[in-house]
Structure 1
Amino acid sequence: MVSGQQSEGPAAAAARLTGFETVSHGPAGTLSEVVLTDGHHEFDAVVKRGHAPGATRAEAAGLRWLASADAVRIPQVHGADDEWLVLDRVTETTPSHAEEFGRALARLHSAGAPTFGAPPPDGPTEAWIGTAPMHNSPGDSWPEWYAEHRVLPYVRMAAGLLDTAVFERACARIPSMAGPPEPPARLHGDLWSGNVLWDATGAILIDPAAHGGHRETDLAMLHLFGCPQLDRILAAYNEVAPLADGYRDRIALHQLFPLLVHTVLFGRSYANQATTAALSLG
């Protein structure tokens, strides 16, 4: 908790960070809904309390970096500090406009990043994916960078649940399985279906672990947790930025990262899935 703000609640934090007046608010929690006004117009916002000091600033930096690509829809960031983040509230409805989302995601990835592992501008090197640590360290070669910074660190964190040798063998296979070299893409970084919200005009992305990476990693996360209308999303994505041959054969490779993160956070059931994915690489 930030020093000097021990008794501050989400409504007070929203007013302080935005300069707007709080009209009403719901129960306080990790996520709290508030209604704010600038004196002329009211709008619905969500106030998020970070799980660690600086996590909300990192998330705000990621959201702004994704939004700056002018591709996917991102909730507007109204304010952030080391404890709180204030965003537009999304009114969810039935998934629609899947093709538009696929094309927008392709444009986001094509906006690029300086290197693999690049954090967002003003984002920290020591960041998070969910509540798990994620180290953003630059690399020029995706296979080596992915093994060093997105696979093996989580294998070490989950010691006791995994056979390290299985994952070391899988990492040795990455250069021969990675497909044609691609430039660093601008990734959402935690693109499971729960972070894709849908309102009346299409998809909105929340809760990023944004960094420079391989675009197929974002797509593999959509496969892993069952995004609605995924076939239509991918078909439209391919119209804008065709995927390299053998894309589907590489899905398990790119799913190692989220499966290992989930192993660290949630335990043995994901350890089994991560091991299966690693063994499938040969």
Structure 2
Amino acid sequence: MPRLRSNGLELEYDTFGSPADPPLVLVMGLGAQMITWDADFCGLLAAEGFHVVRFDNRDIGLSEYLDDLPLPDLQAIAAGDRSTVPYVLADMAADVAGLFDALGFAKAHVVGASMGGMIVQQLAIDHPDRLLSLCSIMSTTGDPTVGQADPAALQALLRPPAAGREASIAQSSDTLRILSSPGFPSTEEFFVAKATRAYDRAYHPAGGARQTAAVIASPDRTAALAGVRVPTLVIHGEADPLVGVSGGKATAAAIPDAELLIVAGMGHDLPRGAWQTLVQAIARNANG
């Protein structure tokens, strides 16, 4: 896959569809590689008439790692000590703007999932002239009173990384199962295959820790989101155990004229059974 230079970093990316079509950039979440945007899902978006771009965020996948930075003290950051914060969501939003520049996009549609939703919200705040439309999926505003996680889901996400390939894949597949959609059930084999593919492509838990610090250290976006003036769609799973549905509701309430789509039975993932619903909603929002 190709690489580009953005905001001083090397980012791995991939494209689907015709470069002559309007660009649609997909931004993935915490510790998740761009392959979490399934190629078939990207193909469905491309079939709607978009030039689809997915990429690995900084510090994850095959993009540049920032291992010269210290590991963050997450407890201290949560308590207000920012001395070990490596970067914040605004820096990751600047990465997306830099990706636009490298690919020659004056403007683009953006879709972000989970932390990626936070990043595209920040992009809309910091670079409002670069967006054609905005879609925030299974995300929240940064207000700590909304979008709270179920304890079991949060514990699964924050547990220390396992040692070795077999244990790491088992841990990741267990996390995928905990976060999955009860209304769109998957098999254990599916979770193991997905975890195996991600581990064998790239395994970099230190990057996930630094991304977690970025989320914790970034401010509440609620007030700033009131200034967003692009067509906005907020999608949230009714059964999301990691970012409660109140996070999606708060996001839609913060952005003027935002559409809110709550998907029954969807958890904190992008289940194949919901793809047509998601793709059609994204295309409808982008096409105004």
Q: Is the TM value for this pair above 0.5? A: no
Structure number with larger C-alpha Rg: 1
**TM (normalized to structure 2)?**
0.27
Using CA pairs below 8 Å that are at least 6 residues apart, which structure has the higher relative contact order? 2
